[in-house]
Structure 1
Amino acid sequence: MLADETTAYAPLLRRIHWATAVLFIAAMLLGFYCGLQPPGTSPRRELLEVHKSLGMTLLFLSILRLMVRLATRVPPEPSSFGAPVRIAARLNHAALYVILFAMPLTGYAFSSAGGYSLKYFWTFSWPRLLADSPAIADAGEVTHDALAWLVYAAVALHIAATLWHAVVMRDGTLARMWPRSGNGRG
């Protein structure tokens, strides 16, 4: 089922959503894989550069996403949304937004304060805004690693809820965020 323009999110927001989803899952999988590898080894070092670059890309994409989200109309929720579903959806979306900002910021904090590379896709280095500080680096790393488990849970819940709405409820929830709208303009 495709949504029309009255029941779908703005086309730009839908595009940003799917770009964010792809980059987020790639960063998540790279981070998980690198966490399983011994420190200082190859390809861990190289993959962490990609992971961090994806994180910074996601931070700026999330800022853009939030601006577009605040500037555009939110389509009405499907009639199948009862109060518990509405509350659960809003809580999960809030958690995802917090994660989209917290993960790159905590990653940046521990990389900056820990003296690690701040290269962006091997092109330029982000400014080091935090002085070398083992305490800040450790706190940032612990927070980043702890939030990773929240990431796995929130993303799994979001995907499960999307599949439930698409396959079981068939209520058009997925169509609201699908990249193309019913009129072909999206």
Structure 2
Amino acid sequence: MKSPVTHFSRTLRVLHWLMAILLLAMLFIGVSMVVTLSERHSWLVAIHKPLGIFLLLLVLIRLAVRLVQATPSLPLEMPSWQKRAAQLSHVLLYILMTTLPLVGWAMQSAGGYPIVLHDTLLLPPIASQDVQLYALLRLAHTVLAYLLFVGILLHLTAALFHALIRKDGVLSSMTTGSGIRSMPDGQ
């Protein structure tokens, strides 16, 4: 009989932390892009577009790895409503991490702006050129980015709750890999 999985695989931990850094960078680059009129604007846009596509690839890889690798269960003592909230929040984060770059790509396509990944590598448009569609997708991209930022803050809050209050190993299962453990009786 196999022993239960108590931590995430090294692959999932690396993907998680790489994406965490890149997602936060993307959110701050995005905010900087829309508030600056300086010469940095075009430089920020040139970083933002390919980084968004790279994050889309990373989230698809992460989903595939997660489907084939076992992940740890939440602590048995955790109330069922918290377990459901954790599962729902992860699903919503994955939806946002997948949808946001796709909406950005579609927005760029609708605006007639190519996404250049390398000097000569252009991504094909995924939406027809349409000014009204561009405006709608730009608004959607902004709203989704704010939702992702809120989702990340809630995720971070929950991780700190597990690390500092519950001390149940949930955070360490994604950091050091030491794993989730049951709480001693009486706690």
Distance 1:123 1:47, change over 3 A: farther
3-state SS of the aligned residue for 1:177?
coil
Structure 2: give runs of 5+ residues left out of the alignment.
179-187
Q: 88, 95, 100: which is aligned to 1:98?
A: 95
Q: Which moved more, 1:71-80 or 1:157-166?
A: 71-80
Look up the match of 2:50. 53
Matched, 1:166 2:160: no
Shift of 1:176: 1.4
3-state SS of the aligned residue for 1:149?
helix
Matched, 1:132 2:129: yes
Matched, 1:152 2:149: yes
Provide the aligned C-alpha RMSD in A: 2.0
In 2: Cα distance, 1:181 partner to 1:111 partner:
39
- 1:19-58 alignment to 2 at 5 Å? 19-38=18-37, 41-58=38-55
Shift of 1:31: 0.7
Shift of 1:118: 0.8
Look up the match of 2:61. 64
Contact 2:163-2:169 at 8 Å conserved across structures: yes
Matched, 1:78 2:75: yes
Moved over 4 A (4+): none
In 1: Cα distance, 2:13 partner to 2:100 partner:
22
- CA distances 1:127-165 after superposition (whole Å, capped 9, x unpaired): 223332112212211110111221121011001111111
In 1: Cα distance, 2:23 partner to 2:52 partner:
8
Distance 1:25 1:122, change over 3 A: farther
Distance 1:5 1:177, change over 3 A: farther
Bigger relative CO (Cα 8 Å, ≥ 6 apart): 1
Shift of 1:76: 1.9
* Count of matched residue positions in the alignment of Structure 1 and Structure 2: 177
Report % sequence identity.
31
Shift of 1:123: 5.8
- CA distances 1:29-79 after superposition (whole Å, capped 9, x unpaired): 1111212224xx420121022111111001011111011011111212123
Structure 1: give runs of 5+ residues left out of the alignment.
none
TM-score normalised to the size of structure 2?
0.86
